[in-house]
Amino acid sequence: KAVWGPCGHLIDIVAVLATVFGLATSLGIGSEQIAAGLSYLFSIDASTSTKVILIITIIAIAIVSVISGLDKGVKRLSEVNLGLAFLLLVFVFMAGPSLTILLNLGTVTRDYLYYLPQLSHWIDREDNLFLHGWTTFYWAWWISWSPFVGMFIARISFGRSVREFVIWVLIIPTLIGLIWMATLGGTALEQMITLGYRGVADAPPELALFKMLEGLPFTNFVSTLCVFLIALFFVTSADSGSLVVDTLTAGGKVDAPIRQRIFWCSTTGLVAVALMLGGGMASLQALTTAIGLPFGLLLLLMCVSMLKGFQQESA
């Protein structure tokens, strides 16, 4: 009864807003990096109009994927996405300082476990600039993604045990993240420390990846692949997010009209364009923080609800 009552509807509305604004932020940030990559490769002006065109293009492809459905469009794009990301990871490992990367993997894992508790709170923090510019923003951004990611994973994980869910959704992605950071980050650090190459250190964040690739073979080809890969990542995010928002607004139905899917996918793109024209990255970050952090309180209540559900099932 509570789910279908006023409180349940309010939570659904907040979840929809968090998802739309979280995806809009992702599209905005993605367009910045893609535009930087195109400027780096082809000297295309990374202007606001270029970023708007990129957002519209990504949304147009996402709409085609959404119309195709979960098993055809979303699944196939995700498989291509993962395959290309794996190839990029293997290439950087083989072409970069492989031994250093392997050594850094242990260091990265150790430091991650050591610093995670310290960086997870704001008490007695001296690095206020990092706290507000990175920790607060990224936590709010991740929280804004939680409604759609949680529901999407639940939908594709139907029939799995809790143990399988924990292993494949929590543990394996964390390990892959550590390997990814150790490989790409370790390569960039090795270039700077050993070779004295400061391309990554001096570049803006959206150009850092391409500057790191300058120190590896086949720079232009791999950089072009990265631009395509980044775009594909945001296409798969937009289409899967739109499917979840469509389900939320349809009362849990997974067979809502196609025009409704198109509407939510288009709305996400329009919000991203409006924010990009209105204030760029600053407005994107402010909106994400504003919608994400309040939803964090709902997440805490959902954690309590989940534990109660486990207790009831085991009783």
> Could you list the pLDDT tens digit for every one of the 315 residues in the chain?
566 777 878 888 888 888 888 888 888 888 999 999 999 999 999 898 999 999 999 999 999 888 887 677 778 888 999 999 999 999 999 999 999 999 888 888 898 889 888 887 777 777 778 787 778 888 888 888 888 888 888 878 888 888 998 999 989 998 999 999 999 999 998 999 888 888 888 889 899 999 999 999 999 999 999 999 999 999 988 888 888 888 888 877 777 788 888 999 999 999 889 888 877 667 777 777 787 878 888 888 888 988 888 888 876
Q: Which residues constitute the domain of residue 230?
A: 6-314
Residue 10 covered by a domain? yes
Q: Note the Cα 177 to chain centre separation in Å.
A: 12
Residue 94 covered by a domain? yes
Residue 62 covered by a domain? yes
Residue 247 covered by a domain? yes
Residue 222 covered by a domain? yes
Looking at residue 2, its pLDDT comes to 65
Provide the number of structural domains found in the chain.
1
Looking at residue 281, its pLDDT comes to 67
Residue 37 covered by a domain? yes
Residue 1 covered by a domain? no
